[in-house]
A and B are shown apart, each in its own frame.
Chain A
């Protein structure tokens, strides 16, 4: 199956600054999902990207799916303390594949 790599593993951000986390797959993905896990909590679905080059925004969060459908990124602007947590990307190899391969996650801490 595909391997999904995510960088950086840790991101320390000054409140108000922007940052980006990147996700790369060894193979082409049919779609990619992003989840957020707050400290002590469980992963919560954020968004799904399906189309090549797709860009979706959720307030200060911008998600992008690469043209080759092998990479994705999550960009957060004007970071707030509520953005603290671990962000996981998860890719599906084919449209019939019921399993998701999770990246290692990017753990975000915010300096006030």
Chain B
């Protein structure tokens, strides 16, 4: 099966600093990747859709200047949480769909748990 790798799996940072999370599709190309936020015992909240070579599409209520997304290649998307605050502490998870398969299954990364002190 297809593998999506997410790094780091855990990160602790001080308030006011920025944190970058990487999402890589290891054995397939992904034109589109998705970034979610998941609170404890809750569902996946879609934050944005990352499109290779173009600007990300953000969901309503998600600050694009706060959560910077870059999809520089067909196998890598990054999410940067800028000027992090304790309320940004959460589980961030990415998913990817194989290029050309708009209705295909999503392959999820392992997730990144961010703790902002």
A residues near B (Cβ < 8 Å) are: 30-31, 33, 35, 41-45, 48, 88, 90, 92, 95-96, 98-100, 102-105, 107
Contacts and interface: CB of A to CB of B under 8 A. Distances in A.
Interface of B: 32, 34, 41-44, 46, 49, 93, 95, 97, 102-103, 105-111
Contacts of A41: 110
Given A42-B109, A43-B108, A45-B106, A98 B43 contact: no
Given A42-B93, A45-B105, A102 B43 contact: yes
A95 B103 contact: yes
B108 A88 contact: no
A52 to B, nearest CB: 16
A98 B105 contact: no
B110 A92 contact: no
